[in-house]
Amino acid sequence: MSRDGDVDESKRATLRRFAALGAASPLVGLASASDSDAPDAIIGYLTATPGAHFSKIRDDLQLGTGETQHHLRRLESEGTIESRKDGDYSRYFPAGRFSEFEQVALGYLRRETPRGMLVALLQSPGISAGDIASQLDVSRPTVSKHAAEMETAGLLSREDGYAVERAETLLMLLVQYADSFGEEAVALAAAADDLVAYDPE
């Protein structure tokens, strides 16, 4: 088979895999009929990877730019998915599934350094900015910049060192979508029971 044939078959397999997930989603009935697997694949992809931005959806599903734009626009106009502006990105979510805070949190969790910072703080509350920088192999000013952004977004407090706000919500998102976040989230999910402190009072 030619190289182009391999690419086409890979694209079809990817679309079929996510389309099957999309077909199982309660949102799929909201999308109008289409001859393409792409709408169901996008729904399935966003069910597994909420908060993904345009380029990631396009690249992971191996779609063309125009094709991706068309289907996202249509699905959003039909109320099947929704988007949120996040700096230079538009991030996409299954419609009605996440609160505003959860959408903002997912946007930060989709970024490598902020996610690494939040994972480090969930694993080791009170860890210093210097230790976070060393652990993530980034500079302290980089950690400080992201911390300021996340404080403004309501994800972090910097009053007495760094502390995660609404830690259980962030932990739940990390655990639920661990596979889409990478190895550090998967490791965090495995230890999640030890990180949740339940106080009935």
Give the CATH number for residue 73: 1.10.10.10
Structural domain boundaries, residue 33: 3-97
pLDDT at 99: 97
Number of structural domains (the chain) is 2
Q: Is position 201 within any domain?
A: no
User: Residue for token digits 């996610």?
Assistant: 115
Which of 56, 35, 34, 36 shows the shortest CA–CA distance to 45? 56
* Least-confidence region, from 36-50, 108-122, 181-195: 181-195
Percent of the chain as helix, strand, coil, to the nearest 5: 60, 10, 30
Q: Is the pLDDT of residue 34 over 60?
A: no
Pairing of strands 163-164, 89-94: unpaired
* Least-confidence region, from 80-94, 100-114, 185-199: 185-199
Average pLDDT, the chain: 84
Average pLDDT over residues 49-64: 94
Query: Structure pTM?
Result: 0.80
Alpha carbon separation from 81 to 70, 84, 95, 99, 139 (Å, rounded)? 13, 10, 4, 14, 37
CA distance 82 to 103: 10
Contact between 22 and 28 (Cβ < 8 Å): yes
Q: Is position 53 within any domain?
A: yes
- The string of pLDDT tens digits covering residues 145-163 is 999 999 999 999 998 899 9
User: Given 56, 81, 97, which residue is the final one in a domain?
Assistant: 97
Q: Is position 149 within any domain?
A: yes
Which of 7, 72, 74 shows the shortest CA–CA distance to 46? 72
Residue 185 and residue 113 share a domain: yes
Q: How confident is the model at residue 18 (pLDDT cuts 50, 70, 90)?
A: low
Residue 67 and residue 148 share a domain: no
Contacts of residue 37, defined as CB under 8 A and 6 or more positions apart, other chains included, come to 12, 15, 16, 19
